[in-house]
């Protein structure tokens, strides 16, 4: 992942940034109930989804038009825009976003209580949408465990 080579997650300044897109990409591959085409496309889209938002690099030349479009559809100028416009995107983009948001919530120690509240509220809506469109998946089980945890 040359795009984030040497970069670390801001919350701990230790965890390699590439862990986030790799986790998202590998987790969608474990969804054996999703059609292979969605898993394959999602794995690539999730692997490269932060390049346009977080770097000045171009996307690799070997991506398919569907993969490039998926990455573009995942890209927003900020959370406010995303929380409004994501509902105008294809259901598979909202599915991919659920992986992204759950991965970020796993690293939520840097988030303020206010940010966590906004983030979890939005992610719960993504979860409901994904379950309506794709049924129960591994990511929805993980999401429910994180979003509705009782400690």
14-63: pLDDT as tens digits = 777 788 899 999 999 999 999 999 999 999 999 999 888 877 888 999 99
The Cβ-side half-sphere exposure at 130, using a 13 Å CA radius, reads 27
What fold, for 8-147?
Answer: Hypothetical protein af1432 (1.10.3210)
Return the bridge partners of 16, or none: 8
Domain ranges of the chain: 8-147
pTM equals: 0.89
Lowest mean pLDDT among 26-30, 58-62, 109-113, 131-135: 109-113
The helices-and-strands tally (H runs, E runs) of the chain is 8, 0
Q: From residue 69, how far is each of 28, 45, 90, 103 by CA, in Å?
A: 18, 9, 11, 22
């Amino acid at each position: 992942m040359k795009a984030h080579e040497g970069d670390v997650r801001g919350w701990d300044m230790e965890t390699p940034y590439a862990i986030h897109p790799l986790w998202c990409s590998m987790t969608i591959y474990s969804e054996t109930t999703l059609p292979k085409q969605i898993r394959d496309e999602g794995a690539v889209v999730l692997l490269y989804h932060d390049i346009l938002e977080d770097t000045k690099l171009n996307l690799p030349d070997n991506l398919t038009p569907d993969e490039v479009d998926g990455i573009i559809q995942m890209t927003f100028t900020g959370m406010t825009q995303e929380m409004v416009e994501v509902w105008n995107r294809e259901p598979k983009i909202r599915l991919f976003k659920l992986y992204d948001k759950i991965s970020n919530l796993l690293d939520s120690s840097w988030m303020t209580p206010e940010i966590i509240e906004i983030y979890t509220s939005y992610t719960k809506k993504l979860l409901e949408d994904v379950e309506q469109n794709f049924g129960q998946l591994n990511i929805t089980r993980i999401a429910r465990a994180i979003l509705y945890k009782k400690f």
